[in-house]
């Protein structure tokens, strides 16, 4: 890469992306990126560009790609509206620590600030939701900006970065050499472990009721194996956050379930009863803790995070460990003892039984012949046997997917955790499938979220992306409906949807499609979806009144879980 050649800024950008290992980008052309797209035409054999149907779809697809592969996702848009359409995906990636490089076109530098056609101040707009951003106004800055962008996006706590490139910089000629960025004096993404591993080990050895809370940081650090080893050596139960799901297989005997508002009874009750919480790569979000003052009243808190701003941000912290999750988990194994904790595991089992007994799907036998969402996800888990990548939208579909899906491998559950972005599911699933084409990828969507980004069916058709699409149609914005029922006297204010025939829409995009309404059709339809070679669309009409339980009402303590409507 060290040999100098004179090329256009657009070529420099493309060669820089290739040098960083980019093989796919999701994008949408427009006035201020036409020079870039013109050059892209000649690199079709080296970079696969996927034309989405909306820039938001490009951003979410890049996220899905990044989350499934661990690589940096790349998306491109033009200036102005193209750039502003990326913002939802960027904000989502910021909250969920997803490495992403977004490239936006910009008006020529000579007319910046003049309210030129399709000019938007995307640097200012994206500043609070990017890890870093930069405006390039000359071709000579391109290589170093891209190098810095990738380095920042993928190192430390990953996140989205944005490079805004003026049109003149895309067409100017430049002497091109590419040097990857290996460090910045103001940025220390991977510090030496700060905190005492010995102190942690001592606490763990002495604990009667310890619980590991595993977040997405475990996946981001590639620490899944180390997590399991640490848990096994110490005989410590493991719970995952929504973002941590699939970091440990569901079948692992030490796995006790998911935390949070719609998590399992056992890990939530265990958080309250624990004498030690070992939090790894998670951030004690309000969805995990419930009322923070009543959270984990008896526990000492060990908190491991690569982002020091997280330590003590939401919750008191007795032993802060500023470190990469892998490094910390390896260090925690030294001197760790296997401790029998029969009472503690019996407690976990008892709480799991309690959940089984109290949360019986929605209405058991009395569903008037309707299929329920919980049935669909449980049946899907059976059919897919834990090997599929599940990508969800947001709402009830997401919570049922988190509750009932089963996973054998990491990076298999992709969801919008922090921002809760409806419309995320379909484009993210598309990006995931592009990233891991050998794996089965299923998008689980509600009828509301599907309609926010359903134009991406066109992208799936044109690029032959073999993603499976499962729409749980209850003709409601179900999660809001649930809150209205439980907390707003069943006043269903603007949550009922009159929907089109979704299967017809999918068929119009040449995607094999089916709609089912009867419970006896369910298993056959799911198997047909699984067997389909390419993309497949299955709409399941489900019971409108089904609610997700257990549920911890917003602001309540974890000890006050609702198990049913009554």
Partner 1 sequence: MNKEYIIVAFTENQVGVLNRITIAYLRRKINIESLKVSETSMKGISMFVISAFTTEETIQKLTRAIRNIVEVIQVSYYTSDELITQEIALYKISSKFFGEGGRIDAISRELGARMIEISPGYVVMEKTGTREEIEQLRDRLERQGVLLEFTRSGSVVLHRDSLDNILGLESGEEE
Dihedral of the CA atoms 163, 164, 168, 170 (nearest 10)? 40
Q: Are strands 48-51 and 210-214 parallel, antiparallel or unpaired?
A: unpaired
Instruction: Out of 179, 225, 252, 313, point to the residue binding partner 1 (CB under 8 A).
Output: 313
Draw the binding track, 158-197, toward partner 1 (x: CB under 8 A; -: no contact): --------------------------xxxxx-----x---
The least CB distance from residue 187 to partner 1, in Å, is 5
Q: Binding string, 398-427, against partner 1, x = CB under 8 A?
A: ------------------------------
How much is the CA Rg of the chain, to the nearest whole Å? 24
User: How near is the Cβ of 75 to partner 1 at its closest, in Å?
Assistant: 20
Question: Does position 128 bind partner 1 by CB under 8 A?
Answer: yes
Determine if 307 is a binding residue for partner 1 (CB under 8 A).
Answer: yes
Beta bridge partners of 174: 7
- φ, ψ for residue 140, nearest 5 deg: -65, -15
Q: Is the dihedral of CA 97, 98, 101, 105 positive or negative?
A: negative
Q: Which residues are catalytic?
A: 55, 117-118, 167, 479
The tokens describing 62, both together, are: 């890049």
Nearer to partner 1, 148 or 406 (CB): 148
Strands 441-446 and 389-392: parallel
Task: Report the candidate in 167, 133, 138 with the shortest Cα–Cα distance to residue 36.
Answer: 167
Contact 180, 19 (CB under 8 A): yes
Q: Is position 152 an interface residue for partner 1 (rule: CB under 8 A)?
A: yes
3-class secondary structure, 490: coil
Q: Please name the helix (run of DSSP H) or strand (run of DSSP E) that holds residue 25, with its range, or none.
A: strand 24-27
Which residue, 187 or 483, has its beta carbon nearer to partner 1? Answer: 187
Residue 79 binds partner 1 (CB under 8 A)? no
Nearer to partner 1, 152 or 445 (CB): 152
Q: How far is the CB of 189 from partner 1 (least distance, A)?
A: 9
Q: How far is the CB of 87 from partner 1 (least distance, A)?
A: 15
Q: 3-class SS at 216?
A: helix
Which region among 56-64, 122-130, 270-278, 287-295 touches partner 1 (by CB under 8 A)? 122-130
Does 308 bind partner 1 (CB under 8 A)? Our answer is: yes
The residue among 249 and 308 lying less far from partner 1, judged by its C-beta, is 308
Smallest distance from partner 1 to CB 414, Å: 25
Buried b (16+ CB within 10 A) or exposed e, 307-326: beebbeebbebebbbbbbbb
Question: Quick check: 127 binds partner 1 (CB under 8 A)?
Answer: yes
Smallest distance, Å, CB 132 to partner 1?
A: 5
Scanning 110-118, 127-135, 243-251, 427-435 for contacts with partner 1 by CB under 8 A, the matching segment is 127-135
**Terminal alpha carbon distance of the chain:** 67
Give 125 or 532: the residue with its C-beta nearer to partner 1.
Answer: 125
What torsion, rounded to 10 degrees, do the Cα atoms 520, 526, 528, 531 define? Answer: -150
Within residues 19-78, the interface with partner 1 by CB under 8 A covers none
In Å, the largest CA–CA distance within the chain is: 73
Of residues 132, 230, 284, 502, which one binds partner 1 by CB under 8 A?
Answer: 132
Mask for 330-359, x = binds partner 1 (CB under 8 A):
------------------------------
Residues composing the chain:
566
**Cα–Cα distance between 22 and 558 in angstroms, integer?**
43
Q: Coil, helix or strand for 113? A: coil
- Can residue 123 be called a binding residue for partner 1 (CB under 8 A)? yes
Q: Is 309 in the site for partner 1 (CB under 8 A)?
A: yes
- Which tokens hold the place of 166? 């003026």
The residues binding partner 1 (CB under 8 A) are: 123-124, 127-128, 131-135, 152, 184-188, 194, 307-309, 312-313, 322
């Amino acid at each position: 890469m060290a040999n100098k050649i004179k090329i256009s800024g657009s070529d420099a950008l493309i060669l820089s992306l290739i040098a960083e290992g980019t093989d796919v980008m999701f994008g949408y052309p427009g006035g201020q990126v036409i020079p870039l797209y013109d050059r892209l035409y000649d690199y079709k054999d080296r970079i696969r560009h996927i034309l989405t149907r909306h820039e938001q779809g490009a951003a979410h697809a890049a996220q899905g790609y990044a989350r499934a592969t661990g690589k940096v996702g790349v998306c491109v848009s033009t200036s102005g509206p193209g750039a502003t359409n990326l913002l939802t995906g960027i904000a989502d990636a910021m909250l969920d620590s997803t490495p992403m490089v977004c490239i936006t076109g910009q008006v020529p530098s000579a007319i910046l600030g003049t309210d030129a056609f399709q000019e938007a101040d995307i640097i200012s707009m994206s500043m609070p939701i990017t890890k870093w951003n930069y405006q390039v106004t000359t071709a000579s800055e391109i290589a170093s900006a891209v190098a810095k962008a990738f380095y920042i996006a993928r190192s430390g706590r990953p996140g989205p970065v944005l490079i805004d490139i003026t049109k003149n910089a895309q067409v100017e000629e430049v002497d091109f050499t590419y040097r990857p960025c290996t460090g910045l004096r103001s940025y220390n993404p991977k510090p030496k472990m700060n905190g005492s591993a010995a102190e942690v080990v001592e606490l763990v050895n002495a604990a009667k009721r310890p619980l590991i809370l595993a977040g997405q940081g475990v996946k981001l650090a590639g620490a899944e194996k180390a997590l399991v080893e640490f848990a096994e050596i110490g005989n410590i139960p493991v719970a995952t956050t929504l973002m941590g799901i699939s970091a440990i297989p569901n079948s692992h005997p030490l796995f006790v379930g998911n935390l949070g508002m719609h998590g399992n009874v056992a890990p939530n009750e265990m958080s309250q009863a624990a004498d030690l919480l070992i939090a790894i790569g998670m951030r004690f979000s309000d969805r995990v803790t419930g009322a923070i003052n009543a959270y984990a009243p008896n526990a000492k808190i060990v908190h491991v995070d690569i982002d020091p701003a997280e330590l003590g941000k939401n919750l008191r912290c007795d032993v802060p460990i500023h470190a990469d999750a892998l490094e910390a988990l390896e260090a925690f194994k030294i001197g760790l003892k296997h401790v029998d904790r029969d009472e503690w595991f019996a407690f976990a089992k008892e709480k799991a039984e309690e959940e089984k007994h109290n949360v019986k799907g929605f209405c058991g036998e009395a569903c008037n012949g309707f299929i329920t969402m919980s049935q669909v996800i449980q049946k899907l888990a059976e059919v897919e046997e834990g090997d599929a990548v599940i990508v969800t939208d947001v709402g009830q579909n997401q919570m049922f997917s988190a509750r009932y899906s089963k996973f054998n491998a990491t990076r298999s559950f992709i969801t919008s955790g922090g921002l809760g972005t409806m419309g995320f599911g379909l484009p993210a699933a598309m990006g995931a499938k592009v990233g891991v084409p050998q794996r089965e990828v299923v998008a689980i969507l509600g009828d509301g979220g599907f309609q926010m980004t359903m134009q991406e069916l066109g992208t799936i058709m044109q690029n032959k992306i073999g993603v499976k699409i499962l729409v749980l149609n209850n003709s409601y914005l179900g999660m809001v409906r649930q809150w209205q029922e439980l907390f707003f006297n069943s006043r269903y204010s603007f949550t009922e949807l009159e929907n089109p025939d979704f299967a017809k829409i999918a068929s119009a995009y040449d995607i094999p499609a089916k709609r089912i309404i009867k419970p006896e059709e369910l298993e056959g339809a799911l198997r047909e979806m699984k067997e389909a070679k390419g993309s497949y669309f299955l709409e399941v009409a489900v019971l409108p009144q089904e609610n997700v339980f257990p549920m911890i009402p917003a602001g309540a303590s974890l000890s006050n879980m609702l198990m049913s409507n009554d």
